[in-house]
Amino acid sequence: MIKRLIVAVALIFFQTITFAQQKPNIVIIISDDHAYQTIGAYGSSIARTPHIDRIAKEGAIFNKGYVTNSICGPARAVLLTGKYSHKNGFKDNETSNFDHSQQTFIKELVKNGYKATWIGKIHLGHKLEGFTDYDILEGQGHYYNPDFISLEGKHREEGYVSNIVTDKALTWMDQHKNDPFCVIIGHKATHRTWMPDIQDFGKYDTVDFEIPATFYDDYATREAANQQEMSISKDMHMGYDLKMYPTVADMRKEGNYARMNDQQFDAYEKYYRPIYEDLKNKHLSGSALAEWKYRRYMIDYLNTAESMDRNIGRVLEYLEKNGLAENTLVVYLSDQGFYMGEHGWFDKRWMYEESFRTPLVAKFPGVIKPNIEINNLVSNVDLAPTFLEIAGVKIPADYQGTSLLPLLEGNKKDIRNNVYYHYYENGEHAVSPHFGISDGNYKLIRYYKRVDGWEFFDLNNDNAELQNKYNDPKYQKRIQKMKKLLLKEATKIDDKDALAILAK
């Protein structure tokens, strides 16, 4: 009897230790162009994002999460490699090709017994390496009836992209739930042209949107901002962006609608056609038209975000129902921030806060306490080492980020005292390449190529970044300190392009 009792106790102890040592699952949900200012957890009183908000409530919200390069492909390259753009080789969407043979955190996880996949948008080419399998959108992907590429080749799926991507992710997790797994769920939403699921039409139609205080920014003292081509007023297309086509035939032949089946197209035509007719009868121009465009942009964008958020809820529900939630790290982030009319803009690219800063929330029961706010500066280059440390995998020596695990566990000590940024693309939207440094209080930016010059902002007194103080005598000592910090950081991460410019 005593022997049986000893054996039973030993068995329970062994099972407990085995469970405690079980490798955690990792679920990374990355959206495209999702602005933190349109998320409830970040203070939006209009946007409905209950499932993203739930992750924050059950875990941690980062209030100072930033990116190293505010554009789609480069942001994902940083996520995978734990290295800045100049080290992982993917600097911009126009000229770069991602080298999938290089080190990634996924390869390290797989070496250590994980199953790993990327499902949805990756925007880093179609020949992935290191994943045990994948099912990715072709290029940017489409909102309706998108094409996917997997190990079996190219195939088209009928339906709405956020639903399809989530269906695929749930199926994959169900197939691998007995193994430690890592799944990256790459949503196309909320990328331009902001096309919601049909069931979400009309959800924000009656909302009274407040025009941002900087909507009519005159860009005084900011030469680069004055040259951009991302204005809602001037550069947002009535047809392509806002679905305002002169005829039904014009709408049907445009690429996003040409691929729709009749039922999908009829629903879009039925919703948007009356809006077009009403606009035509109003004969708007000038600021009235600009504000009308802003309002329609907000409606489409938020409807599209709601379609995605509902699917994030499906992932959380699956983990709960299958007993996986307690041993799974769930992270939600966007590839970067986005402009929701601030400075009169849409799109991203800039080191200004709205696109430099990204939403970042995470939950992991037993590791991350519920409902905590993290106000330390962090960067997306810090994510790859975080995933490896949480999985108990050694972090490669050449990673340039620092694990966020101490912050997630409640440690208040900063892991970095600044965030470094470098945007390289010199094409779409006419945004000048630039690099810079921010310590959370001050921001220094160096522009080159299109514009050759500097900007300096006192964030405590000008959080809208309207007043470039670079030539203000009052700030010269601070500017010199920030220049030294910029040089130090560029040297530390070996950004030779930036160093060459700083040496001039």
List the domains of the chain with CATH numbers. Answer: 24-415 (3.40.720.10), 423-502 (3.30.1120)
Query: How far is residue 243's CA from residue 273's CA, in Å, rounded to a whole number?
Result: 9
Predicted confidence at residue 504, as pLDDT, reads 87
Distances (CA, A) of 183 to 83, 126, 166, 306: 20, 17, 11, 22
Predicted confidence at residue 17, as pLDDT, reads 34
DSSP string computed for 408-442: HTT--S-S-S-EEEEE---SGGGPPPEEEEE-SSE
pTM: 0.94
**Which position has the token pair 């080789």?**
89
pLDDT at position 13 over 80: no
Instruction: Write the pLDDT tens digit of every residue in 220-266.
Output: 999 999 999 999 999 999 999 999 999 999 999 999 999 999 999 99
Chain-centroid distance of CA 245 in Å reads 30
pLDDT at position 3 over 80: no
Tokens of 504: 């001039």
Instruction: Write the pLDDT tens digit of every residue in 426-471.
Output: 999 999 999 999 999 999 999 999 999 999 999 999 999 999 999 9
Predicted confidence at residue 187, as pLDDT, reads 98
Query: How far is residue 291's CA from residue 188's CA, in Å, rounded to a whole number?
Result: 26
pLDDT at position 16 over 90: no
Instruction: Write the pLDDT tens digit of every residue in 258-316.
Output: 999 999 999 999 999 999 999 999 999 999 999 999 999 999 999 999 999 999 999 99
Which residues share a beta bridge with 345?
231
Instruction: Write the pLDDT tens digit of every residue in 22-60.
Output: 899 999 999 999 999 999 999 999 999 999 999 999 999
Instruction: Write the pLDDT tens digit of every residue in 60-111.
Output: 999 999 999 999 999 999 999 999 999 999 999 999 999 999 999 999 999 9
State residue 300 phi and psi, 5-degree precision. Answer: -65, -45
Predicted confidence at residue 15, as pLDDT, reads 38
In this structure, the strands spanning 181-186 and 25-31 are parallel
Predicted confidence at residue 158, as pLDDT, reads 98
What residue type is assigned to position 450 of the chain?
R
Query: How far is residue 478's CA from residue 476's CA, in Å, rounded to a whole number?
Result: 5
pLDDT at position 19 over 90: no
